[in-house]
Structure 1
Amino acid sequence: MSELLNLQQVSAGYGDAIVISKVDLRLQTGESLAVLGRNGTGKTTLLNTIIGVTRHRGGTIALTGKDLTGARPDKRALAGIGWVPQERNIFKSLTVEENLTAVARPGPWTPARAYEMFPRLKERRSNMGNQLSGGEQQMLAIARALVLNPKLMLLDEPTEGLAPIIIEELLAALKRIIRDEGMSAIVVEQHAQKILGVTDSAIILDRGTIVHAGSSRSLIENPAPLEQHLGVTAKKKPRQAASR
């Protein structure tokens, strides 16, 4: 696999505040990464820095070897970065169909293929964005990012505020997109144990720095870092009854 994303000693924030500090991060083509951490540790700021909407305070950012450190957000999008923000930012005054066709670029992901991934959207293709449920709006936000045919997708809290059944549906779709379709992705997610089953690797942020990095499988098998940095308690295995 070739290197897709490379962050070297990146520091960034908002105004005079530095939120992430000297972050080193590499992602290979076809690889997926979970970004974990408590609230306020810099997870969203990391994505915003890759997109280019924070104040750069040091380091370099490259995509497929191209330096994007000083590039505007629109140039980064054209270079192949797709973004699904917490706010979803769909066009609420347009139909589902119009939301997709308005931004679609040539490539394997077409509106028709997005409908195959999210059948609910096909059923509601004539509905306006503001007529969709929260879960459907999130599906539309992901589908809209897909039809841009990005090299890398960034997803910020894609399951936030959604009902458990919708969370399971979205995670299943993300698993197909990432695992089966090979989409490179970075996912910020609060449901650590669930997203680790989707991604290849994971990092944990604390106070704007990476305090743990490794494979998702290793965190599933040894959740001590999750307990230490996120307060996530691993599920205990049921005790076997003593033999008589």
Structure 2
Amino acid sequence: MSPRSPSVNQELRRRSRERILQATVDLVDERGYEAATLGDIAARAGSARGLVSYYFPGKRQLLQSAVHRLMHRTLAAALDREPRTEDGPELLARAIDAVLGLAGDHPVLMRTHMAGILQAEGFVRCSEQQRLAALLRDTVARAGSADPDTDYPLLRAQLMGTVFALLLPGAPMPLAPLRAELFQRYGLAWERGMPPDGAPPGGMSLMVRTASGDTAARVAPDQSSSP
């Protein structure tokens, strides 16, 4: 049997790494960070335990790479979903909703990820994070930013802060007002993206982007409730 070509070996390594990252997401979701051991992750991925350490220097780094991969895949799917669009504000709205949606779909995973970023090793700039950053920066540029290199980190910080507020143990904030605040900041109409069920928060000023520019539109308070 002839030896495998370098390209085949590279593809096998890529698939092995992908399985490890997916197994990390699944097990941390199911069991929590402490209970999801590297041995369990390797077994779920069908890989040798030593292979996990070969690809990732530690468990925190593995978790961050796994979450960044999940965020990139979720963001890419949201941007490409039907109906396809090249409308910049709509793409930005989809991106915001995709990231905020992860807090609801994967609360244990995302809470652990946010806590890990605040540890001594801090933010891991892995290949998964770089792909996520490139896609989010491109979305900011397509939304009309004149300076995406400045605006992308600001959006990233605002999204991280909003996810933190959604997941804060003992005092989580509801999604609707947090989403409304972000959409107002970026001049996005409430109905863009993937809005949550129900009307916009009563009494909040939302910005609606029109062909002639941004105009403010106040949402009337909900009249169905008793005073």
Query: Comparing both structures, which one devotes a greater share of its residues to strand?
Result: 1
Between structure 1 and structure 2, the one with the greater Rg is 2
Query: Comparing both structures, which one devotes a greater share of its residues to helix?
Result: 2
Task: Give the TM-score taking structure 1 as reference length.
Answer: 0.28
Task: Give the TM-score taking structure 2 as reference length.
Answer: 0.30
